[in-house]
Amino acid sequence: MTRMKAMQLDRPGTPLRLVEREVPAPGPGELLVEVSACGVCRTDLHVVDGDIEGSLPVVPGHEVVGHVIGLGPGAGGFSVGDRVGVPWLARTCGACPYCNAGHENLCDRPLFTGFTRDGGFATHAVADAAFAFRLPPGGDDVAAAPLLCAGLIGYRSLRMAGDAQRLGFYGFGAAAHILAQVAVWQGRSVFAFTRPGETAGQAFARSLGCVWAGGSDEDSPEELDAAIIFAPVGALVPQALKQVRKGGSVICAGIHMSDIPAFPYADLWGERTIRSVANLTREDGEEFLDIAFRIPVRTTTTVFPLEQANEALALLREGQIEGAAVLVTGK
């Protein structure tokens, strides 16, 4: 059987290891995908660093773009050769109260790509056909990869902001640089908060249509209707609350965040809210991808060969990636 390559995590806190194995056969309802590109997400850092605990060993990566090369029994909706995207949410039970209520992102027994099942830091990956997204044929696979999580989870965060017209984005990385384009297209005003002194990131934000960009230690020049925190820094929550008007929201977009420090109740009072975002639904994905390709969203990417996944993760950890890092397989 054909062999595949993958970057595998054996233990948290250790570098990924290049391994070779047999290409898996797709099971019932599954697709076998030949991976072209896979984005490197901050959640991958949390997996590698052990901030969140899942199955080990595991191949990380959940912003997967590739082409279908095999179909398991009963895998509907796709044909061999189709261009496909594989996101974080890999499968749900379909039977728990959350699934039955239409909140599959909160499923009690889910699987997650690159966390509780092998993901896209590889030349091949298996995906559930029911949770994969069809992508337009002939597009740029590297450019599309960040849409599969930075875009999808960011879009769910944007939806939670409701009709907020003045939006603050804390942390201007992969997700924010995508969602800023969506929000500006929708006619909203975006205020970008970066690490203090990060002038290049602030210039990048302004180039994407943000009306203001400054450090996260600065006050917004206008009162915000909502703030979305993409950086995994709990101390930003009280800071963002001070910038949000009465009745406004602070939305925490990450899967992991450092502890939120104590803050005065007066900063929350006035019917302000703090809420988190968990995973995504397939409806979120279909809606966002339709919008992203219509705008169209332009992703800024830094490309690495698959074998340099550890280097990409290190640069992401240090905040040295403008936009998104993407691994390519060379296929």
**pLDDT tens profile 272-294:** 999 999 998 999 999 999 999 99
How much is the pLDDT for 254? 87
Let me know: does 170 contact 227? Beta carbons within 8 Å. yes
Task: Report the alpha-carbon distance of residue 85 to residue 26 in Å, rounded.
Answer: 16
Tell me the H-state helices in the chain: 42-49, 97-100, 141-144, 150-160, 174-185, 199-207, 236-241, 265-268, 282-294, 309-317
CB neighbour list of residue 299: distance below 8 Å, 6 or more residues apart = 143, 144, 145, 146, 147, 177, 178, 323, 324
The per-residue pLDDT for range 254-265, each reduced to its tens digit, is 889 999 999 999
Across 67-71, 171-175, 221-225, 257-261, least confident range: 171-175
DSSP at 195: S
Q: Please give the average per-residue pLDDT across 303-311, as a whole number.
A: 98
Domains and CATH numbers, the chain: 3-147+300-328 (3.90.180.10), 152-276 (3.40.50.720)
Buried b (16+ CB within 10 A) or exposed e, 87-109: bbbbbbeeebebbeeeebbebee
Asked if the model's pLDDT at residue 330 lies above 80, the reply is: no
Model confidence band, residue 331 (pLDDT cutoffs 50, 70, 90): low
pLDDT per position as a tens digit, 72-100: 999 989 999 999 999 999 999 999 999 99
Q: Is 160 helix (H, G, I), strand (E, B) or coil?
A: helix
| For residue 1, pLDDT beyond 90 | no
Q: Are 40 and 33 in contact (CB under 8 A)?
A: no
Q: What is the mean pLDDT of the segment spanning 214-229?
A: 97
Average of pLDDT values for 134-152?
94
| pTM as predicted | 0.92
Is the model's pLDDT at 188 over the cut of 70? Answer: yes
- Which pLDDT does position 156 carry in this prediction? 94
pLDDT 10s digits, 13-67: 999 999 999 999 999 999 999 999 999 999 999 999 999 998 899 999 999 999 9
Assign 284 to helix, strand or coil.
helix
pLDDT tops 70 at residue 125: yes
64 touches 28 (CB < 8 A): no
